[in-house]
């Protein structure tokens, strides 16, 4: 199993809603990532979990709240988002911890396309 | 800080044409270099990688050589197919950037039959 599975594939939410994006991998990877990608742009790193601990937060607004319940799961909780937060949210994982070998080899999910009205 | 510069697209080629997408980098120390590909409506996939100078990464007919003297990692393919139409991202990872991946801006390739 070499897949990273993200749900939902599409999400439309109002600015007052609370929703969550979910990500799952069963490759035994110990680093998991959230990226945000706007159209025609490269992915922008948001958060990195290494061995289930938050290692990197790229100064992301608190309306985005990550959670790593266990080594296979990664969530992104969304609350009070703005229309400019509309984007493709990509989850990724890599072998080992953040500074471990092969951690440039990210395995990406297909993404959750978020629209904030 | 680390940075990646890749040729801006879009690049439009006919099937069986030769492809080059240029990529140069600035990094602390000795980075690992990567090419990722994103097909329409999908996430990114690792296409190939090189972890030290003069290494050549290859996959699916694509090749790139880690050139330390020119700080480059150009992507090439001898004969492109319609199915190669995608966005290609050059990326690097180094300890100087806390092991985060630094991406280039991406190059959209369209291959016409």
Label each residue of chain B as H, E or C: CCEEEECCCCEEEECCCCEEECEEEECCCCCEEEEEEECCCCCEEEEEEECCCCCEEEECCEEEECECCCCECCEEECCCCHHHCEEEEEEEECHHHCCCEEECCCEEEEEEC
Residue-level pLDDT at A2:
63
SS3 A84: helix
Angle at alpha carbon of residue A7, lines to B40 and A95, rounded to 5°: 80
Instruction: For residue B29, give how far its alpha carbon lies from the nearest alpha carbon of chain A (Å).
Output: 15
Residue-level pLDDT at A102:
61
Residue-level pLDDT at A85:
97
Average pLDDT over residues B73-100: 89
8 Å CB contact of A110 and B91: no
Instruction: Write out pLDDT tens, residues B20-72.
Output: 999 999 987 888 999 999 999 889 999 999 988 999 999 999 999 999 999 99
Nearest to A99 among B36, B42, B99 (CB): B99
In chain B, which residues have their Cβ closer than 8 Å to the Cβ of A40?
106, 108
Residue-level pLDDT at A98:
64
H or E stretch covering A80: none
In chain B, which residues have their Cβ closer than 8 Å to the Cβ of A42?
89, 103-106
Instruction: For residue B52, give how far its alpha carbon lies from the nearest alpha carbon of chain A (Å).
Output: 13
| Residue whose pair of structure tokens reads 């990688």 in the numeric block | B49
Q: What's the pLDDT band for B8 if we cut at 50, 70, 90?
A: confident
Residue-level pLDDT at B36:
96
Rg from Cα positions in chain A: 13
Q: Are strands B11-14 and B107-112 parallel, antiparallel or unpaired?
A: parallel
Size of interface A-B (CB pairs under 8 A): 51
Low-confidence ranges of chain A (pLDDT < 50): none
Residue-level pLDDT at A96:
72
Average pLDDT over residues B60-86: 97
At residue B12, does pLDDT exceed 90? yes
Instruction: For residue B27, give how far its alpha carbon lies from the nearest alpha carbon of chain A (Å).
Output: 15
What are the distances in angstroms from CA A23 to CA A34, A72, A73, A114? Answer: 9, 8, 6, 14
Residue-level pLDDT at B30:
83
Distance in angstroms (rounded) separating the CA atoms of residues A110 and A88: 9
8 Å CB contact of B91 and A4: no
8 Å CB contact of B98 and A56: yes
Residue-level pLDDT at B97:
60
Average pLDDT, chain B: 93
């Amino acid at each position: 199993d070499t897949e990273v599975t993200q749900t939902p594939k599409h999400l439309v939410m109002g600015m007052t809603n609370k929703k969550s994006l979910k990500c799952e991998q069963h490759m035994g990877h110990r680093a998991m990532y959230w990226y945000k990608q706007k159209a025609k742009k490269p992915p922008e790193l948001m958060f990195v979990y290494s061995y289930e601990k938050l290692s990197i937060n790229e100064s992301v607004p608190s309306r985005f709240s990550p959670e790593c319940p266990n080594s296979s799961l990664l969530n992104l909780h969304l609350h009070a988002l703005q229309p400019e937060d509309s984007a493709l949210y990509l989850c990724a994982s890599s072998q080992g911890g953040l500074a471990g070998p092969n951690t440039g080899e990210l395995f990406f999910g297909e993404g959750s396309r978020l629209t904030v009205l | 800080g680390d940075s990646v510069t890749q040729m801006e697209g879009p690049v439009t080629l006919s099937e069986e044409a030769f492809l080059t997408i240029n990529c140069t980098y600035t990094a602390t120390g000795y980075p690992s270099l990567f090419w990722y590909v994103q097909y329409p409506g999908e996430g990114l996939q690792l296409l190939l990688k090189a972890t030290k100078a003069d290494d050549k990464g290859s996959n699916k007919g694509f090749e790139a050589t880690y050139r330390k003297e020119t700080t480059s990692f150009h992507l090439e393919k001898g004969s492109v197919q319609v199915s190669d139409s995608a966005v290609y991202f050059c990326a690097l990872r180094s300890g100087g950037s806390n092991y985060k991946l630094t991406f280039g801006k991406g190059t959209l390739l369209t291959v016409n039959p």
